[in-house]
Amino acid sequence: MPQSVLDRKIALAVSPTERARKAAREVQAAHDWADLDQADIVVVMGGDGFMLQTLHQMLERGRIVPVYGLNLGTVGFLMNLWRSGDSIVHRLERAQSFEVLPLSMTATTMAGERVTYPAINEVSLLRETRQTAKLEVSVNNAVRISELVCDGVLVATPAGSTAYNLSANGPILPLGCGMLALTPISPFRPRRWKGALLPDSAQITFRVLEPGKRPVSAVADQREVRDIRDIQIAIDPNRRLSLMFDPGHSLDDRISAEQFIV
C-alpha cells in the first residue's frame, strides 16, 4: 500500500517575496513541517524562478524528492494555483507526479576552465558583444552545421520548451515525447534554418568560431559561464526530478494548451 502523505515528512520552501511570506504564514500552523534535508516532499511557495532555484539546490545536494509548487509569483508555469484556506495535505494526496529529466552542460572556457551545470529548462549560448556569434554545431560527434551565424542558440527540454525556447520561435514539446528542441536565436546564416528536433539521447556540441573576436557566453537556466570555447549538452538520466500537480492542472496539460493560444 502506498505511503500516506500524512506519514511522510513534508518541508516548506518559501520565496522571500512579501506575497509568498504572507501566504506561508497561513499554512505554517496547519502542519508539522520537516527540515528540507530530511523531507520526503517539498512544498514550494513562490514563482517559477524560485521553483527552479529550489530544484537546482536539490540537484546540487544530491537529494531529490517530489516537489509541489504553489504559485505566488507571476506566470507560475511550473506551479499549482494558490487558494487560500485549502488543505495542503489534501491537495498533496490527490496530486499526480510527472518526471522531468534535466540537461547537463559542460563548458570549456578560453582559459581552459571546465564547468558543469545542470539545466531544467534550457541551455542557451549568447553573443557577448555587438558582433554576431559564429558556432559549429555537432550532434553525436557529427558536424551538422559548419558555421551558424546568429545572436545565439539554445537547447530546451520539454519542461522548458514554453519558456525562452517559445520566445525564440522554437517548438512546444509535450512531456514524455523523448525529444529536445535545438533552436537558433536570430539566425543570419544559414538564413532559412529554423532549428531541429532531436532525440533526448543526443549529445549536442557547440564549438565557438573566432572566440577572441566574437566571445560567447553559456547559460544553464540561471547560471552563466562567459568566454566559452566549446560546450557539450546532453540529458542527465541519473538525476530525475518529480513535479507534483493537481488533477487537471498538470504541466503536460498546460504545455498542450499553450499551442492553442493566439
238 annotated among ligand-binding-site residues: no
C-alpha cell at 70: 504553489
107 annotated among ligand-binding-site residues: no
Query: Which helix H or strand E contains 145, and what residues bound it?
Result: strand 142-150
165 annotated among ligand-binding-site residues: yes
159 annotated among ligand-binding-site residues: yes
242 annotated among ligand-binding-site residues: no
The β-bridge partners of 225 are: 218
What span, in angstroms and rounded, lies between the C-alpha atoms of 189 and 19? 46
What span, in angstroms and rounded, lies between the C-alpha atoms of 32 and 203? 44
Which residue do the cell numbers 513562490 mark? 46
Single-letter amino acid, residue 63: R
151 annotated among ligand-binding-site residues: yes
Is 48 one of the catalytic residues? yes
Catalytic residue among 7, 32, 35, 48: 48
> At a CB cut-off of 8 Å and minimum separation 6, what does 113 contact?
none
167 annotated among ligand-binding-site residues: yes
97 annotated among ligand-binding-site residues: no
**Which residues sit in the known binding site?**
48-49, 121-122, 151, 159, 162-167
Q: Which residues are catalytic?
A: 48
Annotated binding site for NAD(+): 48-49, 121-122, 151, 159, 162-167
